[in-house]
Amino acid sequence: MSDIRVRFAPSPTGPLHMGGVRTALYNYLFARKHGGKFILRLEDTDQTRFVPGAEAYIIDALKWSGLEIDEGVSVGGEYGPYRQSERKDLYRQYVDQMIESEHAYIAFDTPEELDEMRDRMKKAGVPSPQYNSVTRMNMKNSLTLSAEEVQRRLDAGEPYVVRIKMPRNEEVRFEDMIRGWVVVNTNNLDDKVLFKSDGMPTYHMANIVDDHLMKITHVIRGEEWLPSAPLHVLLYRALGWERPQFAHLPLILKPDGNGKLSKRDGDRLGFPVFPTEWKSPENGEISSGYREQGYFQGAFINMLAFLGWNPGTNQEIFSLEELIEAFSIDRVGKAGARFDPDKTRWFNQQYLRMQDDEKTGEQLMDLLKNEGIETNLATATKVAGLLKERAVFVADMVEDGMYFFKAPDSYDEKTIKKKWKENSGELLHELKVRFQGVSDFTSANLEAEFKAFLGEKELGFGAVGPILRVAISGRGMGPGIFDIAEIIGKEETISRIDRAIEING
């Protein structure tokens, strides 16, 4: 393939759903795989639905996701402008071309007249009335009115729309890169509005014109646009343009597989559906994002890649560069992809484990500062190394590893009840004295001293190990006891043992 050009074209009507990011990702991977361009275009022809802040949100979300824009909104390019509202003057000439070639016509029907038509059709037994090849000849349009009457209405400023003149009883065929051949009869299609009297095109017209003028070669978009594809095929034909290849991506489904994933599902089940946090300009409502919940960019993208695509191997963890190398549109499935929040957490856990301990330590230090706790990078790095196997997020290390930075103020009740015996305080006191004599307070030296103590007392690990752990950390489980002791140091270890003996007897 050569000169590949793909576009991601969201509407700035609110935050970008994770399904939208997946569409952007697949476009990005396809472009990068074939040495092409990834373009961002904003389809804002419907100004009534425009939401302040949505454009900046989309750009920020794509940036956080690591999807670099080659051309488009925020970066520019030779085929701009890249907001449809700024391209208003481009569309009229192509609408006029379609009217002149008799592929479109002007319609003056009022909302009331359209309602009356639908009512008549329903009474005649038509379940889904449409403005089409049957009904249009009984309506007020340039096909039924004289040229003089049409001009009179236009001169009078009467509201109108321009509709496509859908051919009657014709099969529209096109090959989808994912779904194979798609065949639709035009009798099942209506005369869609292409242009409104306010001078703005509808999505369908603007989409086709922009894709043509921006030399888009492949349109990779969500399944929800599949019903519009036959209309778009006919528009390309009417305008005499070569059509790009289509690929319609499968839906992202709810965790139970029943229906399309929505924000309500995330709210109900406790997971984000947006890449980054969104604050509604209307009511101030905040919707959580993957970034703010502590997900790694790579884990988020890795998870999205597998919602509809598979590499054909057992590999599950991919860097963005590896995804580019492995991605193929013919390995994208037709069936809806079920979202699994547990699998998403698993992806994040893998990325946390792979991350350099020092980098994790830096992130841990930032979170600890928010809790009013200061530490150094060396300590934070050691703690990160010990806790990362059990954590999903860096924030888990703050909650689960607070004992590294603060002495416990309570002790695991189950361990105390089961393991703390009458002589436990005495044994801990003797062990404490042994620990005080360890000059090089390392994990290895402490473990050796502990084993020697058990040997002399003829005790098993279970007689002292669990109560030593609970004395030092307050927990019944966790990383190695002696690793914890080395990090908190001799003075703090001794102090904690003394306090546990005093509290628990």
What is the per-residue pLDDT across 126-135, written as a single tens digit (0 to 9) for each? Answer: 888 999 999 9
Q: What is the 3-state secondary structure (H, E, C) of 170-222?
A: CEEEEEECCCEEEEEEHHHCCCCEEEECCCCECHHHHHHHHHHHCCCCEEEEE
Percent of the chain at pLDDT above 70?
100
- Spatial distance between the Cα atoms of 343 and 348, rounded to a whole number of angstroms: 9
| Single pTM value for the model | 0.92
The pLDDT tens digits for 455-500 are 999 999 999 999 999 999 999 999 999 999 999 999 999 999 999 9
Active-site choice (263, 343, 382, 490): 263
Average per-residue pLDDT in the chain? 95
Q: Is 1 a residue whose pLDDT tops 70? A: no
Mean pLDDT, to the nearest integer, of 215-229? Answer: 97
Question: Which of 85 and 39 is assigned the larger pLDDT?
Answer: 39
pLDDT at 461: 95
Q: Is 5 a residue whose pLDDT tops 60? A: yes
Q: What is the distance, to the nearest Å, from the Cα of residue 383 to the centroid of all Cα atoms in its chain?
A: 31
pLDDT at 13: 92
Residue 344, both tokens: 């998403």
The pLDDT tens digits for 279-319 are 999 888 999 999 999 999 999 999 999 999 999 999 999 99
pLDDT at 225: 96
When mean pLDDT is compared across 92-101, 121-130, 136-145, 346-355, the lowest value belongs to 121-130
Per-residue pLDDT band for 46 (boundaries 50, 70, 90) equals confident
pLDDT at 330: 94
> Tokens 């103590």 correspond to what residue?
453
pLDDT at 127: 87
pLDDT at 2: 60
pLDDT at 505: 74
Question: Which of 272 and 1 is assigned the larger pLDDT?
Answer: 272
- Spatial distance between the Cα atoms of 210 and 203, rounded to a whole number of angstroms: 10
Could you give the strand order of the β-sheet that contains 104-107, starting from the edge strand earlier in sequence?
104-107, 161-164, 193-196
Q: Is 359 a catalytic residue?
A: no
Mean pLDDT, to the nearest integer, of 154-159? Answer: 95
Question: Which of 197 and 41 is assigned the larger pLDDT?
Answer: 41
pLDDT at 48: 77
Q: Which residues are CB-neighbours of 56 under 8 A, at least 6 positions away?
A: none
Percent of the chain at pLDDT above 90?
92
DSSP notation for 214-248 = TT--EEEEEGGGGGGHHHHHHHHHHHT-PPPEEEE
